[in-house]
């Protein structure tokens, strides 16, 4: 009898709990950053922001459980992924709040989620247009972009602060990285897999005498609190706001598709159109629940994709455990406040390793592409370049209309759209066939019968269709 795939194999309870906690600690700061920034931008008081954080964690936990375990044939990709609030929706939510109010923010999110649920299965049908050439380029950009986030956690984001880029903070991050590297590379068995968690604990202990642990929000937090539906009043549905949030959901679909395919690649568990469709339905469900409970649209957290690749713990029951922990943190605000007190240089230190791992996964994915083909090389290069330039040239699109900034403000989105569009143009139309048939001036024509160059998905026929590459 064939044994179950590692993805579908539960671990012993204590191991499963330890790895589940590790996933939560990795993503927690990124998850609560979205409600913190949104609340500050629209002028909410501290108590209301705390409510947003609780709602954010509750919905993130529920969607993580859905994605890990699945709901029949309705939702859930059934892979080891952790979900959380996406930054893709942050700017449009702030703009909608300023223009129409908070009722419109959550009303448009609710409708955007319904639109997403309706489009999940049609969107999944284009999975064949996300070959390694596309997903590899996108993941490379994702990893490189997130490295900047890790750097911000280490040195701080306020240049006017006396603690900005403090050598002691940088040194703490280096020590945390050294501990993580030591356990990951030299540890044996479970100690190698728990290297990130050990580094987080060690870094927190070292940070105690440095005064970097902020537990000021713990005393004022309630022990139990469940977010109330439509806290800001009856939802409203301005057409412009609904269109903007529907676009956000579509962008999240593109990001999540790339991440789900990456996890499939890392774990060796194949996914089909139905799996991707159920995963995207989970994203749409997050927007529906977010609209009702004042939370945010969720996506697959790429830092946790890096954790799966680093630890090589592939069980989806581990991430389901993470989802349960997130739900508990969502309904126990005081516990959540304790976790939020983790020192940022410590989180940034382990984040630097995990985020860079995502980029390496992308590079490894690109190795499966025939990069001796000048067209494939150009597609990958342009996608990576276009995706990285907004991260390096801050404010590049600030003079564009706010509606355009929804798409242009994210380098990850730009990379996905560029790679998808160019791959579609040159690997799925006659244009690519004609381009590859062109012989450079001065070069010799190939011998009759020489195979055409292999593209990102196979060998183009005369009609421009693409067949699966032959196995060796």
Q: What is the mean pLDDT of residues 117-136?
A: 85
- Predicted pLDDT at 241: 85
Most confident of 101-110, 307-316, 456-465: 101-110
pLDDT per residue over 195-222, tens digit each?
A: 777 888 899 899 988 888 776 666 666 6
Phi, psi of 85 (to 5 degrees): -60, 135
Provide the pLDDT for residue 458.
43
Return the percentage of the chain with pLDDT > 70, whole number: 85
Write out pLDDT tens, residues 377-392.
999 999 999 989 887 8
Mean of the pLDDT values across residues 284-300? 93
Q: 22-51, pLDDT tens digit by residue?
A: 899 878 767 777 787 688 678 777 778 778
Beta bridge partners of 299: 84
| Number of residues assigned to the chain | 472
Read off the pLDDT of residues 71-83 as tens digits, 9 standing for 90 and up: 988 999 999 999 9
Q: Residues 140-180: pLDDT tens digits?
A: 887 787 788 788 878 887 788 888 889 999 999 999 999 98
All residues at 6 or more sequence positions from 42 whose CB lies less than 8 Å from its CB, including other chains: 94, 97, 98, 102
Any idea of the CA torsion for 84, 165, 21, 34, to the nearest 10 degrees?
Answer: -20
Q: What is the mean pLDDT of residues 222-226?
A: 73
| Residues of the chain above pLDDT 90, percent | 33
pTM above 0.85, yes or no: no
Position 58 scores a pLDDT of 94
């Amino acid at each position: 009898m064939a044994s179950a795939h590692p993805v579908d194999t539960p671990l012993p309870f204590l191991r499963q709990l330890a790895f589940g906690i590790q996933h939560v600690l990795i993503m927690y700061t990124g998850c609560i950053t979205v409600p913190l920034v949104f609340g500050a931008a629209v002028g909410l008081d501290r108590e209301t922001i705390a409510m947003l954080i609780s709602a954010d964690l509750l919905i993130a936990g529920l969607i993580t459980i859905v994605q890990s375990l699945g709901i029949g044939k309705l939702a859930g990709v059934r892979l080891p992924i952790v979900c959380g609030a996406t930054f893709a929706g942050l700017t449009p939510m702030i703009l909608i709040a300023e223009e129409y109010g908070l009722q419109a923010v959550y009303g448009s999110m609710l409708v955007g989620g319904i639109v997403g649920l309706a489009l999940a299965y049609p969107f999944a049908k284009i999975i064949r247009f996300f070959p390694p050439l596309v997903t590899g380029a996108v993941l490379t950009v994702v990893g490189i972009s997130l490295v900047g986030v890790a750097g911000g956690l280490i040195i701080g984001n306020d240049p006017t602060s006396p603690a900005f880029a403090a050598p002691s903070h940088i040194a703490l991050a280096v020590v945390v990285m050294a501990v993580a590297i030591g356990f990951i590379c030299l540890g044996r068995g479970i100690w190698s897999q728990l290297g990130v968690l050990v580094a987080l604990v060690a870094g927190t202990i070292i940070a105690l005498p440095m005064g970097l642990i902020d537990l000021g929000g713990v005393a004022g937090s309630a022990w139990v609190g469940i977010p109330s539906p439509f806290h800001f009043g009856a939802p409203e549905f301005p057409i412009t706001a609904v269109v903007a949030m529907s676009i956000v959901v579509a962008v999240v679909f593109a990001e999540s598709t790339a991440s789900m395919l990456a996890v499939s690649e890392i774990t060796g568990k194949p996914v089909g159109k139905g799996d991707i469709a159920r995963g995207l339905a989970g994203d749409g469900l997050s927007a529906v629940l977010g609209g009702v409970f004042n939370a945010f649209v969720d996506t697959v957290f790429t830092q946790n994709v890096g954790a799966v690749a680093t630890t090589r713990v592939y069980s989806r029951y581990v991430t389901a455990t993470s989802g349960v922990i997130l739900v508990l943190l969502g309904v126990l605000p005081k516990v959540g406040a304790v976790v939020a007190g983790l020192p940022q240089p410590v989180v940034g230190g382990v984040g630097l390793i995990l985020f860079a791992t995502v980029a390496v996964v992308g590079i490894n994915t690109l190795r499966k592409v025939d990069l001796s083909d000048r067209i494939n090389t150009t597609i990958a290069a342009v996608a990576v370049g276009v995706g990285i330039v907004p991260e390096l040239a801050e404010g590049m699109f600030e003079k564009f209309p706010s509606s355009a900034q929804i798409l242009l403000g994210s380098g990850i989105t730009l990379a996905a759209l560029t790679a998808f569009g160019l791959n579609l143009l040159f690997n799925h139309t006659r244009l690519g066939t004609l381009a590859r048939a062109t012989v450079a001036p001065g070069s010799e024509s190939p011998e009759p019968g020489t195979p055409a160059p292999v593209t990102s998905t196979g060998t183009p026929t005369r009609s421009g269709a693409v067949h699966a590459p032959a196995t060796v």
